[in-house]
Amino acid sequence: MKSDNDIQMKKVVVLGFDGALASAITGVVDLFAMAGVSWNRIQQQEIHRLFQVEIASAQGQAIRCINGILIQAHSAYADIKDVDIAIVPTIAGPIIETLQQNPELIRYLKEADRQQKVIAGNCTGNFFLAEAGILNDRQATTHWGFQDMFQTLYPKVKLHADQLISRDQHIYCAGGGLAWFDLGLHLIERYYGFELAMQSAKSFVIDYRRDSQLSYSLLKIGKPHHDELVQKVQDWLEQHFHEALNLEQLATRFNLTTRTLIRRFKQALDVPPNQYLQALRIEAARKRLEETEQAVDLIMQHVGYHDPSSFRRLFHKKTGLTPLEYRRRFSRRFYHVIKLQQL
């Protein structure tokens, strides 16, 4: 068996902090540490460790994760030497408070960026990268549920929250939750090629080459407002979205001109009424695909569409998946299996 010393290993450091998501630390450590190991063991081949993985904290102290687990650090940020990849895990606690409590991490990121080190942030951990200013005028992503907050705080960042992974020069960002798996696989591919990344994915039994968060995100259907008339139109549409509707008919029903209806909707919800109706219909279709076994064409008709190609095109645009792909990924199939077993 070839010695680990014969392989030019890359050094990965996970930059821990109190309130981090534990799995975004330990999972990253496992993924990189087992690259070149798990698959080779399965295939009964020589083991070639490819990454040296360490955990760092501000002063080298143990990290208290959001679930209460303590994770021991190998070193302090200031003592990190010869790192190839620096990874920031998910902020699982209050974001602003966590940023304020970790100036050492922000300073480290600024210096690592100056040295052109590969920096990778996961989920809300990308708030640290933005706070350090290293995402200004760069492409980035974050958890879809925090995109509004991110855009408000960091308007100079070119945020694409629909993307699961973004890369701009030496900086990588991953989207929500467990996207650290996808992030890690992209980095493994960068250093050791697609085949090794695929082997790692197969050994961990995970999908690779996912590229979008759209299918996981909630469709934005408006926002809080104080326009009582628009609220009445919303309430009516939520009950009648499946009917054949056009803007002229909708405006007439509420004694408005079409132009006034559009203007009031945009002022209250930042979207015109036709887009609001579209979002209602797609959300209803998603729910039926998740909870029923109805044919896609029947679902299409139930939510107010009659052209299959237009419906599929729109559904894919809004979710990143075709209706059948969405059903395969999100249907309650385990529930149905359990029910069948109980019969």
321 falls in which pLDDT band (50, 70, 90)? confident
pLDDT at 312: 92
Q: Which domain holds residue 69?
A: 4-203
Q: Are residues 10 and 149 in the same domain?
A: yes
Q: Considering its fold, how many domains does the chain have in total?
A: 2
What whole-number distance in Å separates Cα of residue 48 and Cα of residue 194? Answer: 16
> Do residue 194 and residue 322 come from a single domain?
no
Answer whether residue 105 shows pLDDT above 90: yes
Domain boundary among 168, 203, 238: 203
Instruction: Please give the pLDDT value at position 85.
Output: 96
- The residue that leads in pLDDT, 168 or 8, is 168
Measured in residues, the chain has a length of: 343
In a domain, 266, yes or no: yes
198 and 311 both lie in a single domain: no
Specify if 341 maps to a domain. no
For residue 10, being part of any structural domain is answered with: yes
Verify that 78 and 173 share a domain, yes or no.
Answer: yes
| 177 and 264 share one domain | no
Question: Is there a single domain that holds both residue 162 and residue 33?
Answer: yes
Average pLDDT over residues 164-186: 89
Whether 214 has a pLDDT exceeding 60, the answer reads no
> Could you tell me if 262 and 196 lie in one domain?
no
The Cβ of residue 337 has, within 10 Å, a number of other Cβ atoms equal to: 10
Q: How far is CA 333 from CA 68, 218, 277, in A?
A: 33, 21, 29
Tell me, yes or no, whether 183 and 310 share the same domain.
Answer: no
Residue 88, domain CATH? 3.40.50.880
Question: Does 186 share its domain with 254?
Answer: no
**Residues 253-277: tens digit of each pLDDT:** 999 999 999 999 999 988 899 999 9
Give residue 16's pLDDT. 96
- What is d(CA 187, CA 197) in angstroms, rounded to the nearest whole number? 8
The model's pLDDT over 113-152, given as tens digits with 9 standing for 90+, comes to 999 999 999 999 999 999 999 999 999 999 988 999 999 9
Query: Residues 122, 186: one domain?
Result: yes
Distance CA(113)–CA(138), nearest Å, equals: 13
> Can you tell me which residue has the tokens 């409590």?
101
Task: Please say if the pLDDT value at position 98 is more than 70.
Answer: yes
Q: Mean per-residue pLDDT for 32-49?
A: 78
Contact 130, 137 (CB under 8 A): no
Beta strands in the chain (DSSP E): 10-15, 51-57, 63-64, 70-71, 75-76, 85-88, 118-122, 139-140, 158-159, 165-168, 171-174
In a domain, 210, yes or no: no
Mean pLDDT computed over 93-109: 97
Contact 239, 201 (CB under 8 A): no
DSSP codes joined into one string, 72-119: --SEEGGG--S-SEEEE--B-S-HHHHHHT-HHHHHHHHHHHHTT-EE
Residues 248-254 have a mean pLDDT of 94
Q: 17 CB contacts (<8 Å, ≥6 apart)?
A: 57, 58, 63, 91, 98, 101, 102, 105
- Residue 220 included in any domain: no
Residue labelled with tokens 């999100």: 330
Q: Are residues 141 and 267 in the same domain?
A: no
Assign residue 232 the CATH number of its domain. 1.10.10.60
Task: Note whether 238 and 187 are same-domain residues.
Answer: no
Q: Which residue has the higher pLDDT, 290 or 123?
A: 123
Last residue of a domain, one of 203, 218, 243: 203
Mean pLDDT of all residues in 6-23:
90
pLDDT of residue 333: 58
Number of H helices, E strands in the chain: 16, 11
pLDDT at 201 over 50: yes
Question: Is 50:7 a contact under the CB 8 Å cutoff?
Answer: yes
87 burial type by CB count under 10 A (0-12 exposed, 13-18 middle, 19+ buried): buried
Do the domain assignments include residue 208? no
221 located within any domain: no
Q: Is residue 214 part of a domain?
A: no
